[in-house]
Chain A
Amino acid sequence: MDKETIELLARRAGLAKALAKFPDDVTASAKQAADVAEKIKRPADPRAEPWPPMRAGIGL
């Protein structure tokens, strides 16, 4: 993720104050997020469901 994208996403997420006061922390957070998501295998089956599955609860 480049600097401009990080700043854009941070502002969109409401982190303008953090970006001004703790720019290194914002960059470190963005890097953590980018690194971690890459390590997950994509399920081969497009019908693979997420957990927890939708369950009809008391209100439905």
Chain B
Amino acid sequence: MSDLHWMTVGAAARAIATRELSPVDLTKALLDRIERLDPKLNAFIRVDGEAALQAARAAEAEVVSGRLRGPLHGVPVGIKDIIDVAGLPTTCHSKILEDNVAAADAVCVEKLRGAGAIVLGKLSTHEFAIGGPSFDLPWPPARNPWNTDHHPGGSSSGSGSGVAAGLFPMALGTDTGGSVRNPASCCGIVGLKPTYGLVSRRGVFPLSFTLDHIGPMTRTVGDNALMLEAIAGHDPLDPGSAAATRGHYASGLERSVRGLRVGFVRHFHETDTPADPEVTAGLEHVARTLEAEGAELHTIKLPTLGEFGAVNRVILQSEAWSIHAPWLSERPEDYGMLSRRRLMAGAFMSSGDYVLASRRRLEMIAEVEAALREVDVLLCASSMDPACRIDRPADVERTYPRQARTPFNVTGHPALAMMAGLSAGGLPVSVQFVGRYFDEATVFAVARAWERAAGTDKKHPAIV
């Protein structure tokens, strides 16, 4: 079998189940690729190669004996390094937690292993999922495989870079202000922030209790649905966990979008934060394509991106401050400059700011809920620009806030970002689909309709 590194999760799992592919061969092929390419990409903080091979051998023995653990049996996965993997350090890409060895797997990792996945190692992130890309941390920042002079988005930067580069077919990311969807947008892959509470946060280092989400990152929509099926579900020990039952996300993917009402939130990228013309053209192309597939297009108005962003920042920085205050007090020199500045901001927010943001949040939820009674799914921008160069802090500072992802951390609705096309410079541009609470199935169906029509799942960076 050639090009094992571009195999989808679904294809690899099927080939392993029918004994056409050995999980050991697949794992070895990916470890070889990691050894060759990761020095350019820095997607990994730690490759756990020996443990991965051992797990692959066990998976192979299980297949031979007729036992399949689940739908991801024998398929490798990368884990963002703010998520616990038993026996490995959870560093959060920070000197603060360099020696913080996890005693147990996070619930999402435990579920992936239960479905048969093989953990390859821990992936780069922005420090504590907030400060980056930074060059003043113990590990270098991840880079974009479409052009390694550019950033891969963050904070789940190693997850996005590694999936796009074919180092692994799936990864776990986390998303508090867009950190799954930003790297998905920059690296041209599929990243989902599920409904708040659908995936347990237990065993994941918190950034902001009421905004944190854990989500799947893959090269195809179908793989994303498979991965979500594996990690979703109620956790009685996570106070934010929803009681809703897990859906069957992969089974309805190929359904037609004929008659589906798609609400295009144009003001996000037309007036709130005017997008790069290539991004605007990409969004229009997605909208026209869905219309040609039979979807009804409507224009939807929501609160402005500026206000969504402010509500997100006040809540995020207030909650993050409550976590980091002791370390910022005693060890401020052990943080990188970006995270130090962003995390200390919480010290200057008042209780009034936090409560005001939380009250406005509930009104914003009501406004998005009202829109989603008029339409079945929302279509809007994710990033307003292709990824800029990683070595130009002023460009990074300018382009990072130019996005439309934070609204759905504020409201908790499921939101998926994926490739809308490629810029003239050969970098991905992106689109975002947003659904009703716990209706990830419709989000996946619309995303799959776009993917099927545009062939975005066949586009890979030229990195070899």
A residues apposed to B, CB below 8 Å:
1, 6, 9-10, 13-18, 21-22, 25-26, 28-30, 32-34, 36-43, 48-53, 57
**A–B complex contacts, Cβ < 8 Å, 19 sampled:** A9-B347, A10-B347, A22-B340, A25-B344, A26-B344, A28-B341, A30-B345, A32-B313, A32-B317, A32-B348, A33-B349, A33-B353, A37-B350, A37-B353, A40-B314, A42-B360, A48-B363, A49-B359, A51-B362
Chain B interface bracket (under 10, 10 to 19, 20 to 34, 35 or more): 35 or more
Say whether A40 contacts B329, CB under 8 Å.
no
Closest to B337 in A: A25
Q: Indicate if B306 sits at the interface (CB-CB under 8 A).
A: yes
Say whether A18 contacts B363, CB under 8 Å.
no
Closest to B310 in A: A39
Q: Residue B360 contacts which of A10, A17, A32, A41 (CB distance < 8 angstroms)? A: A41
> Measured between C-beta atoms, what is the minimum distance from B180 to chain A in Å?
21
Question: Chain A residues near B328 (CB, 8 Å)?
Answer: 14-15, 18
Say whether A36 contacts B310, CB under 8 Å.
yes
Q: For the complex, what is the distance from the CA of A25 to the CA of B136, rounded to whole Å?
A: 15
Q: For the complex, what is the distance from the CA of A26 to the CA of B349, rounded to whole Å?
A: 13
Question: Chain A residues near B344 (CB, 8 Å)?
Answer: 15, 18, 25-26, 29
Question: Chain A residues near B292 (CB, 8 Å)?
Answer: none
Say whether A29 contacts B347, CB under 8 Å.
yes
Q: Indicate if B380 sits at the interface (CB-CB under 8 A).
A: no
Say whether A32 contacts B325, CB under 8 Å.
no
Q: Indicate if B423 sits at the interface (CB-CB under 8 A).
A: no
Q: For the complex, what is the distance from the CA of A55 to the CA of B325, rounded to whole Å?
A: 27
Apart from A15-B329, A28-B341, A48-B363, what 13 extra A-B contacts exist at CB < 8 Å? A6-B348, A17-B329, A25-B332, A25-B337, A29-B343, A32-B345, A39-B307, A39-B309, A40-B314, A40-B356, A40-B357, A50-B359, A50-B361
Say whether B361 contacts A37, CB under 8 Å.
no
Question: Chain B residues near A51 (CB, 8 Å)?
Answer: 210, 358-359, 361-362, 365
